Chains A and B, each alone.
Chain A
Amino acid sequence: MRVGVVTFPGTLDDRDAARAVEYAGAEPVSLWHGSDDLKHVDAVVLPGGFSYGDYLRCGAISAKAPIMKSIIVAAEHGFPVLGICNGFQVLAEAHLLPGALTRNADMHFLCTDQTLKIENNSTMWTNGFTLGQEILIPMKNAEGNFNCDDATLHELESEGRVIARYVGVNPNGSRDAIAGITNKRGNVVGLMPHPEHAIDLLTGPSKDGLTFFTSLLHSMIAG
Chain B
Amino acid sequence: MGKIIVEVMLKPEILDPQGQAVGKALPRLGFTFAQSVRQGKRFEIEVAGDPTPAMLADVEKAAEEFLANTVIESFVVKVEK
Contacts and interface: CB of A to CB of B under 8 A. Distances in A.
Q: How many of chain B's residues touch chain A, expressed as a range? A: 10 to 19
Nearest to A61: B66
A53 to B, nearest CB: 15
Interface stretch (A10-18, A98-106, A110-118): A98-106
B37 to A, nearest CB: 14
A57 interface: yes
A105 B71 contact: no
Given A60-B66, A64-B66, A107-B21, A148 B71 contact: yes
A196 interface: no
A99 B66 contact: no
A100 B72 contact: yes
Contact of A107 (B17, B66, B71): B17
Interface residues of A, number: 20
B71 A103 contact: no
A147 B71 contact: yes
A214 to B, nearest CB: 32
Contact of B17 (A60, A106, A147, A149): A106
B55 to A, nearest CB: 20
A104 B67 CA distance: 21
Contacts of A120: none
A142 to B, nearest CB: 10
A103 B69 CA distance: 14
Contacts of A148: 71
Contacts of B1: none
Interface of B: 10, 14-18, 21, 66-67, 69, 71-72
Interface of A: 56-57, 60, 64, 92-93, 98-100, 102-107, 145, 147-149, 173
